[in-house]
Chains A and B, each alone.
Chain A
Amino acid sequence: MDLGSAMTAEECEILYQTCGTQSFGGLDRGRALSEMDEELVVMVQPFFTPKLNYTATPPAAMLTKVFWDEPGFTPIVTQRDLLSRSAKVMVYSYQEQGE
Chain B
Amino acid sequence: MAATWFRAPAPVARRMRGYFAPVNRATQTPVLFDASEQGAFDLDAPPAPWISLGWIQDFTRKPMSKTAPVLTGIPAATLEQVRETLEAQVSLQFLSWTKLTMALATGSQHMNLLASVSGAAAAADGAQAAAAVVPQTGSTATFVALASADAAKFTAGSIIALDVDYTGQTGFLGAPVAGAYVRQALTDVNYIRRVTFNVALVSQVNPTGLTLAEPLLGGAPAAGAKLQAVTGFVDREGGSFYQEWSALFVMQGSQGERIFYYYPRLQTMVGAEEAAIPLSGKNPGGQSRVLLKGQFLALPVTDPLDGERVMCYRSFLPAANAMV
Contacts and interface: CB of A to CB of B under 8 A. Distances in A.
Interface of A: 1-4, 7, 47-48, 63-65, 67, 69-70, 92, 94, 96-97
25 contacts: A1-B7, A2-B7, A2-B9, A3-B6, A3-B7, A3-B8, A3-B9, A4-B9, A48-B254, A48-B255, A48-B256, A63-B6, A63-B321, A64-B6, A64-B255, A64-B319, A65-B254, A65-B256, A67-B12, A67-B254, A69-B14, A70-B14, A92-B254, A94-B6, A96-B6
Given A2-B9, A4-B7, A4-B10, 18 more contacts: A1-B6, A1-B7, A3-B6, A3-B7, A3-B8, A3-B9, A48-B254, A63-B4, A63-B5, A63-B321, A64-B6, A64-B319, A65-B254, A69-B14, A70-B14, A92-B12, A92-B254, A94-B6
Interface residues of B, number: 15
Contacts of B256: 48, 65
A12 B75 CA distance: 63
Contacts of A64: 6, 255, 319
Contacts, number: 39
Interface of B: 4-10, 12, 14, 254-256, 319-321
Contacts of A1: 6-7
Given A65-B254, A67-B254, A7 B4 contact: no
Contacts of A48: 254-256
Nearest to B256: A65
A3 B323 CA distance: 11
A39 B5 CA distance: 35
Contacts of A4: 7, 9-10
